[in-house]
Amino acid sequence: MIDKKLENQINYQINRELYSEYLYLSMAAYLEDKGLAGMAHFMRVQGEEEHFHAMKFFDYLNERGGRVVLNAIEQPPVEFDSPQAVFEESLKHEMIVTDLINKLMDLAIEINDHAARSFLNWYVDEQVEEEATFHTIIDKLNLVKGKGDGLLMLDKELSTRTFTSPTK
Ligand code: OFO
Protein backbone atom coordinates (compact mmCIF):
# COMPACT_ATOMS: atom_id res chain seq x y z
CA MET A 1 0.00 0.00 0.00
CA ILE A 2 1.30 3.41 -0.89
CA ASP A 3 1.93 6.16 1.65
CA LYS A 4 -1.00 8.62 1.77
CA LYS A 5 1.20 11.68 1.40
CA LEU A 6 2.90 10.18 -1.67
CA GLU A 7 -0.50 9.23 -3.09
CA ASN A 8 -1.71 12.83 -2.75
CA GLN A 9 1.46 14.20 -4.29
CA ILE A 10 1.20 11.81 -7.25
CA ASN A 11 -2.41 12.88 -7.78
CA TYR A 12 -1.24 16.48 -7.80
CA GLN A 13 1.46 15.53 -10.33
CA ILE A 14 -1.13 13.86 -12.59
CA ASN A 15 -2.97 17.19 -12.56
CA ARG A 16 0.23 19.09 -13.41
CA GLU A 17 1.07 16.75 -16.29
CA LEU A 18 -2.45 17.12 -17.68
CA TYR A 19 -2.16 20.89 -17.25
CA SER A 20 1.13 20.65 -19.21
CA GLU A 21 -0.73 18.90 -22.01
CA TYR A 22 -3.34 21.67 -21.96
CA LEU A 23 -0.68 24.39 -21.90
CA TYR A 24 1.16 22.96 -24.90
CA LEU A 25 -2.08 22.56 -26.81
CA SER A 26 -2.86 26.21 -26.13
CA MET A 27 0.59 27.11 -27.43
CA ALA A 28 -0.09 24.96 -30.51
CA ALA A 29 -3.30 26.89 -31.11
CA TYR A 30 -1.46 30.21 -30.81
CA LEU A 31 1.33 29.11 -33.19
CA GLU A 32 -1.18 27.74 -35.68
CA ASP A 33 -2.92 31.12 -35.63
CA LYS A 34 0.43 32.79 -36.38
CA GLY A 35 0.94 30.59 -39.46
CA LEU A 36 3.69 28.49 -37.87
CA ALA A 37 2.27 25.03 -38.54
CA GLY A 38 5.58 23.23 -37.87
CA MET A 39 5.95 24.75 -34.41
CA ALA A 40 2.27 24.10 -33.72
CA HIS A 41 2.83 20.46 -34.66
CA PHE A 42 5.84 20.29 -32.33
CA MET A 43 3.68 21.56 -29.45
CA ARG A 44 0.92 19.06 -30.21
CA VAL A 45 3.47 16.26 -29.99
CA GLN A 46 4.73 17.79 -26.72
CA GLY A 47 1.13 17.67 -25.48
CA GLU A 48 0.96 13.95 -26.35
CA GLU A 49 4.14 13.38 -24.34
CA GLU A 50 2.60 15.13 -21.35
CA HIS A 51 -0.46 12.93 -21.63
CA PHE A 52 1.83 9.93 -21.55
CA HIS A 53 3.57 11.32 -18.43
CA ALA A 54 0.22 11.75 -16.69
CA MET A 55 -0.98 8.25 -17.60
CA LYS A 56 2.27 6.69 -16.45
CA PHE A 57 1.62 8.16 -12.98
CA PHE A 58 -2.05 7.15 -13.25
CA ASP A 59 -1.15 3.50 -13.93
CA TYR A 60 1.53 3.47 -11.28
CA LEU A 61 -0.78 4.74 -8.56
CA ASN A 62 -3.29 2.02 -9.43
CA GLU A 63 -0.55 -0.59 -9.46
CA ARG A 64 0.50 0.45 -5.96
CA GLY A 65 -3.04 0.17 -4.62
CA GLY A 66 -3.58 3.93 -4.48
CA ARG A 67 -6.64 5.85 -5.61
CA VAL A 68 -6.42 8.17 -8.60
CA VAL A 69 -8.31 11.42 -8.03
CA LEU A 70 -8.67 13.81 -10.95
CA ASN A 71 -8.98 17.45 -10.01
CA ALA A 72 -9.96 20.41 -12.19
CA ILE A 73 -7.39 21.51 -14.78
CA GLU A 74 -6.96 25.28 -14.86
CA GLN A 75 -7.16 27.28 -18.06
CA PRO A 76 -3.76 27.84 -19.71
CA PRO A 77 -2.78 31.24 -21.16
CA VAL A 78 -4.36 31.97 -24.56
CA GLU A 79 -2.02 34.71 -25.81
CA PHE A 80 1.77 34.90 -25.84
CA ASP A 81 4.11 37.79 -26.63
CA SER A 82 5.73 36.08 -29.63
CA PRO A 83 6.63 32.62 -30.99
CA GLN A 84 9.96 32.96 -29.20
CA ALA A 85 8.16 33.79 -25.94
CA VAL A 86 6.22 30.52 -26.30
CA PHE A 87 9.44 28.52 -26.12
CA GLU A 88 10.82 30.64 -23.28
CA GLU A 89 7.58 30.05 -21.34
CA SER A 90 7.88 26.34 -22.08
CA LEU A 91 11.35 26.18 -20.58
CA LYS A 92 10.19 28.06 -17.47
CA HIS A 93 7.29 25.65 -17.16
CA GLU A 94 9.57 22.62 -17.47
CA MET A 95 11.82 23.99 -14.74
CA ILE A 96 8.79 24.15 -12.43
CA VAL A 97 7.89 20.56 -13.34
CA THR A 98 11.47 19.44 -12.66
CA ASP A 99 11.17 20.98 -9.22
CA LEU A 100 7.93 19.07 -8.59
CA ILE A 101 9.53 15.78 -9.69
CA ASN A 102 12.47 16.47 -7.37
CA LYS A 103 10.05 17.09 -4.50
CA LEU A 104 8.34 13.76 -5.23
CA MET A 105 11.74 12.08 -5.16
CA ASP A 106 12.59 13.85 -1.87
CA LEU A 107 9.41 12.42 -0.36
CA ALA A 108 10.09 8.90 -1.66
CA ILE A 109 13.54 9.07 -0.07
CA GLU A 110 12.16 10.47 3.20
CA ILE A 111 9.63 7.65 3.57
CA ASN A 112 12.07 5.02 2.35
CA ASP A 113 9.91 3.91 -0.57
CA HIS A 114 12.49 2.21 -2.79
CA ALA A 115 9.94 1.18 -5.42
CA ALA A 116 8.77 4.78 -5.83
CA ARG A 117 12.36 5.97 -6.07
CA SER A 118 13.05 3.53 -8.86
CA PHE A 119 9.87 4.59 -10.66
CA LEU A 120 10.60 8.30 -10.25
CA ASN A 121 14.10 7.95 -11.71
CA TRP A 122 12.49 7.74 -15.15
CA TYR A 123 10.96 11.19 -14.63
CA VAL A 124 14.20 12.66 -13.28
CA ASP A 125 15.94 11.63 -16.52
CA GLU A 126 13.00 12.71 -18.65
CA GLN A 127 13.09 16.23 -17.18
CA VAL A 128 16.74 16.62 -18.20
CA GLU A 129 15.65 15.84 -21.75
CA GLU A 130 12.61 18.14 -21.58
CA GLU A 131 14.67 21.13 -20.46
CA ALA A 132 17.45 20.42 -22.99
CA THR A 133 14.95 20.26 -25.86
CA PHE A 134 13.59 23.72 -25.12
CA HIS A 135 17.06 25.14 -24.43
CA THR A 136 18.22 24.03 -27.88
CA ILE A 137 15.25 25.60 -29.63
CA ILE A 138 15.64 28.87 -27.70
CA ASP A 139 19.33 29.00 -28.69
CA LYS A 140 18.34 28.63 -32.34
CA LEU A 141 15.63 31.28 -31.99
CA ASN A 142 18.18 33.65 -30.48
CA LEU A 143 20.49 33.03 -33.44
CA VAL A 144 17.79 34.04 -35.91
CA LYS A 145 16.50 36.78 -33.58
CA GLY A 146 13.12 35.04 -33.49
CA LYS A 147 12.09 36.16 -36.98
CA GLY A 148 12.52 36.16 -40.74
CA ASP A 149 13.69 33.25 -42.88
CA GLY A 150 15.43 31.70 -39.87
CA LEU A 151 12.12 31.45 -38.06
CA LEU A 152 10.52 29.76 -41.09
CA MET A 153 13.42 27.31 -41.37
CA LEU A 154 13.06 26.41 -37.71
CA ASP A 155 9.32 26.03 -38.22
CA LYS A 156 10.07 23.49 -40.95
CA GLU A 157 12.57 21.65 -38.77
CA LEU A 158 10.10 21.36 -35.89
CA SER A 159 7.40 19.96 -38.19
CA THR A 160 9.17 16.60 -38.29
CA ARG A 161 8.79 15.70 -34.61
CA THR A 162 7.04 12.41 -33.91
CA PHE A 163 5.84 10.86 -30.68
CA THR A 164 6.84 7.31 -30.01
CA SER A 165 5.46 6.04 -26.76
CA PRO A 166 8.37 4.72 -24.66
CA THR A 167 7.94 1.17 -23.43
CA LYS A 168 7.20 1.92 -19.74
FE1 OFO B 1 5.83 16.09 -18.09
O2 OFO B 1 7.35 16.95 -18.55
FE3 OFO B 1 6.90 18.45 -19.40
O4 OFO B 1 5.73 19.17 -18.23
Tell me how far the alpha carbon of residue 50 lies from the centroid of ligand 1, in angstroms: 5
Residue 20 lies in a domain: yes
Q: What is the number of domains present in the chain?
A: 1
For the chain of 168 residues, list the mean pLDDT of each consecutive stretch of 10. Answer: 97 98 98 98 98 98 98 98 98 98 98 98 98 98 95 97 79
Tell me how far the alpha carbon of residue 160 lies from the centroid of ligand 1, in angstroms: 20
Report the pLDDT value the prediction gives residue 1, as an integer from 0 to 100: 86
The residue range of the domain holding 119 is 4-69+76-158
Report the pLDDT value the prediction gives residue 166, as an integer from 0 to 100: 76
Residue 164 lies in a domain: no
CB-CB contact of 19 with 75 (8 Å): no
Report the pLDDT value the prediction gives residue 88, as an integer from 0 to 100: 98
Report the pLDDT value the prediction gives residue 165, as an integer from 0 to 100: 80
Report the pLDDT value the prediction gives residue 167, as an integer from 0 to 100: 62
Residue 168 lies in a domain: no
Tell me how far the alpha carbon of residue 147 lies from the centroid of ligand 1, in angstroms: 27
Residue 133 belongs to domain with CATH number: 1.20.1260.10
Ligand 1 nearest atom to the CA of residue 54, by list position:
1
Q: How far apart are CA 23 and CA 51, in angstroms?
A: 11
Residue 44 lies in a domain: yes
CB-CB contact of 30 with 86 (8 Å): yes
Residue 167 lies in a domain: no
Closest of 135, 160, 164, 167 to residue 37, by C-alpha = 160
Between 148-158 and 114-143, two packed helices, what is the crossing angle to 10 degrees? 150
Ligand 1 nearest atom to the CA of residue 127, by list position:
2
Question: What's the per-residue H, E or C state across 62-115?
Answer: HHCCCCCCCCCCCCCCCCCCCHHHHHHHHHHHHHHHHHHHHHHHHHHHHCCCHH
Is pTM beyond 0.85 here? yes
Q: Half-sphere exposure (CA, 13 Å, Cβ side) for 112?
A: 0
